[in-house]
Amino acid sequence: MRGIDSNLLEIKNFSKLSRKEITHIGPLLVNKYKFLLHIEPDQLKLKGAEKISDTWYVSYWQTFGGMIIYESSLGFSIDPQGRVKSLGALLYPNVEVPRASKISHEEALKIGQKQIKDYKKLRCRLLAEGVLIYPVKKINSIDYYRVFAFNFFPEKALHPASTVGGWAVFVDSQSGKVVLFEILLKPLGCCVPEDWVPPKPEEMKPKW
């Protein structure tokens, strides 16, 4: 999404804003363009906000019912003049997912551990976990799974110089079926977001 005749947003007194105020620009953009994005500002969860050479790069996950939607994203940059010229997004406007789990966390964890050959011998550790929404795209529809997401790594992968990878296992919270099993190249917490709360509507009125 890109502004054709003008910027998507122009921020006055940009250089004086705190990092927290910078992270509130995402919900502000969603509120301004929700007729195109089809989500609400409180459906964002901060993924990262980093300043590089006077330019801010900010990104978010989309959430539903407080749960992160796997591989969803909304991101943009703010140039040194406080201009947001474009944003990129992978969003899901019509999410339908169970509100509660039918199997317990303990059951799901055991299912996840069983997917890894020699789990005990490798001294695997659970480095990250969470309850996520996992979308599976079909030809004309999307299936949404409420999953227990686990990141497992063998002990030797934790050494800073190690090139050994780990595994992500997503277990459907309704059936106990493994809906995703993939190799992770390094210990990254796929489901451990930054402790950030979307701004309240009254806080979204620009102060700049």
Confidence of residue 158 (pLDDT cuts 50, 70, 90): confident
Report pTM.
0.85
CB 74 within 8 A of CB 88: yes
Asked if residue 175 and residue 129 are part of one domain, the reply reads: yes
CB 39 within 8 A of CB 93: yes
Which of 71, 95, 119 delimits the end of a domain? 95
> What CATH number is associated with residue 76?
3.10.450
Asked if residue 82 and residue 17 are part of one domain, the reply reads: yes
In a domain, 205, yes or no: no
In a domain, 77, yes or no: yes
Instruction: Give the total number of structural domains in the chain.
Output: 2
In a domain, 197, yes or no: no
Which of 35, 61, 95 delimits the end of a domain? 95
Q: What are phi and psi of 125, to 5 degrees?
A: -125, 145
Q: What are phi and psi of 61, to 5 degrees?
A: -90, 160
In a domain, 155, yes or no: yes
Q: Where is pLDDT greater, at 190 or 20?
A: 20
Show Cβ contacts of residue 24 under 8 Å, excluding neighbours closer than 6 positions: 199, 203, 204
Q: Identify the CA nearest to 150 among candidates 185, 117, 176, 125.
A: 125
- Chain segment 116-152, per-residue pLDDT in tens: 999 999 999 998 899 999 999 999 999 999 999 999 9
Q: Where is pLDDT greater, at 204 or 116?
A: 116
Which of 66, 95, 124 delimits the end of a domain? 95
Asked if residue 23 and residue 91 are part of one domain, the reply reads: yes
Asked if residue 88 and residue 43 are part of one domain, the reply reads: yes
Beta-strand ranges (E) seen in the chain are: 9-10, 44-52, 55-64, 67-68, 73-78, 83-84, 87-90, 125-137, 142-153, 166-172, 178-184
Asked if residue 124 and residue 79 are part of one domain, the reply reads: no
Asked if residue 81 and residue 111 are part of one domain, the reply reads: no
- Chain segment 53-104, per-residue pLDDT in tens: 999 999 999 999 999 999 999 999 999 999 999 999 999 988 999 989 999 9
In a domain, 117, yes or no: yes
Q: Which domain holds residue 50?
A: 9-95
